[in-house]
């Protein structure tokens, strides 16, 4: 029979274990200062967009959203997946930045936004990547797709496989450019997931997204992301526009070790998509903060192990604990650790042996499995026998 042993830890324990400074809570008779109080969070702004979402990149917390799962044409936001796959292929050694790509007639003839590559010419992979990200070149996107997968249709299959792997549940790609097609659809939430993968998986190539211009074939073209000029903390990502999709923008900014990802789809103009993005980022950074309480695999507790080669096992959170909260709210949190008892060997690393709950008053703000950080093998026959006898009497008197 299992018993639950619950230990309540004040937020001071959370902050101490994470290496963060602890802010003293005022006594009940004291009048809290303005800075000690949690920030009053006003309602999220209403945006002039068909769909939008604001997400914290570290915690995954969604701070605001509207029609975020609606399937919509993503236009050139599609090229984030095209560039993502190209960067993954570079990291895996399948292609190199200085590889030369032969430009096909299909790539050269494609309409819409262009890098202005010439049919029959050879262009390096890294120049094509800049042409995709900065100039939003349809020609560059098709040339890259053909170089990686042999054809744009085959590349679209690869795009859909990666979308499924990343959990982009609303997305289906028909091409590498975002050219209008009946079943070429995505959502604001999926585009946020895509942006997060780009930032997380390849920070080196992500730096290209903040470059303001690219010079190719005698033509200097500016990055279409107006936020790069309006907000110095914005360092990406991608614009999109077709008549059907309207004006779209995925952006990301980092301030005080907090990174936000915003997506707006279906606005009325270039200026509107930048203005609506600014509203979201201003609201998110002004009223919220992201705290890293525990690192992945940080030891939070030691649990008694019965019939094991070791008497104790270290417990922690496999993915750590990162939370996005209204400013000032972290000081009011309480953490509870609940462990299974008795815990008997053998134990494999990663076995779930309890839970951690973080509460604000009676509301559970976060819950995660408490796992064994190391394996513990069974003791020998005499050790197991002795512990089983002790455990029997332990059960009688407890």
Determine if residue 321 is left, alpha or beta; phi over 0 gives left, psi from -120 to 50 gives alpha, anything else beta: beta
Catalytic status, residue 43? no
Determine if residue 158 is left, alpha or beta; phi over 0 gives left, psi from -120 to 50 gives alpha, anything else beta: alpha
Q: Angle at CA 311, nearest 5°, toward 390 and 371?
A: 115
**Distance of alpha carbon 152 from alpha carbon 145, whole angstroms:** 5
**368-391 CB burial, b ≥16 within 10 A, e <16:** bebbbbbbbebbeeeebeebeeee
CA–CA distance from 48 to each of 145, 191, 274 (Å)? Answer: 34, 18, 11
Cis peptide before 237 (omega within 30 of 0): yes
Catalytic status, residue 76? yes
The single residue of 59, 79, 83, 110 carrying the catalytic annotation is 79
Catalytic status, residue 79? yes
**Distance of alpha carbon 186 from alpha carbon 69, whole angstroms:** 8
**Distance of alpha carbon 21 from alpha carbon 24, whole angstroms:** 10
Closest by CA to 128, choosing from 93, 152, 154, 99, is: 99
The single residue of 83, 104, 113, 136 carrying the catalytic annotation is 136
Tell me which residues are annotated as active site: 76, 79, 136
């Amino acid at each position: 029979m299992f018993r639950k042993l619950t230990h309540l830890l004040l937020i001071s324990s959370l902050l101490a274990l994470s290496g963060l400074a602890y802010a003293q809570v005022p006594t009940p008779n004291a009048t809290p200062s303005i800075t000690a109080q949690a920030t009053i969070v006003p309602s999220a702004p209403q945006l002039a967009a068909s769909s939008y979402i604001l997400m914290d990149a570290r915690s995954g917390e969604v701070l605001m959203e509207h029609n975020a799962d609606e399937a919509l044409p993503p236009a050139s936001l599609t090229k984030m997946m095209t560039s993502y796959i190209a960067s993954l292929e570079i990291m895996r050694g399948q292609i190199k930045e200085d590889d030369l790509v032969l430009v096909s007639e299909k790539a050269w003839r494609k309409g819409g936004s262009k890098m202005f590559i010439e049919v029959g010419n050879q262009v390096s992979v890294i120049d094509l990547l800049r042409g995709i990200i900065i100039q939003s070149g349809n020609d560059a996107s098709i040339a890259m797709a053909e170089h990686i997968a042999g054809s744009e249709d085959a590349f679209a299959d690869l795009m859909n496989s990666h979308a499924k792997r990343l959990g982009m549940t609303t997305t289906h790609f028909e091409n590498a450019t975002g050219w209008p097609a009946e079943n070429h659809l995505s959502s604001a939430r999926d585009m946020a997931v895509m942006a997060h993968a780009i930032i997380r998986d390849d920070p080196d190539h992500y730096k290209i997204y903040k470059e303001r211009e690219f010079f190719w074939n005698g033509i200097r073209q500016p990055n279409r992301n107006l936020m790069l000029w309006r907000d110095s903390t914005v360092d990406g990502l991608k614009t999109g526009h077709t008549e059907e999709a309207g004006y779209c923008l995925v952006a990301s900014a980092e301030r005080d070790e907090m990174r936000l990802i915003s997506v707006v789809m279906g606005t009325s103009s270039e200026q509107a998509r930048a203005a609506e993005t600014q509203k979201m980022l201003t609201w998110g950074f002004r009223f919220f903060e992201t705290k890293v309480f525990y690192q992945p695999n940080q030891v939070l507790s030691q649990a008694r192990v019965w019939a094991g080669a070791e008497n104790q096992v270290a417990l922690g959170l496999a993915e750590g604990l990162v939370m996005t909260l209204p400013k000032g709210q972290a000081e009011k949190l309480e953490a509870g650790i609940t462990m299974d008892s008795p815990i008997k060997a053998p134990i494999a690393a990663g076995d779930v042996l309890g839970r951690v709950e973080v509460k604000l008053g009676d509301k559970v703000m976060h819950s995660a499995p408490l796992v064994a950080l190391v394996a513990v093998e069974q003791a020998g026959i005499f050790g197991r026998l002795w512990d089983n006898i002790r455990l029997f009497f332990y059960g009688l008197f407890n």
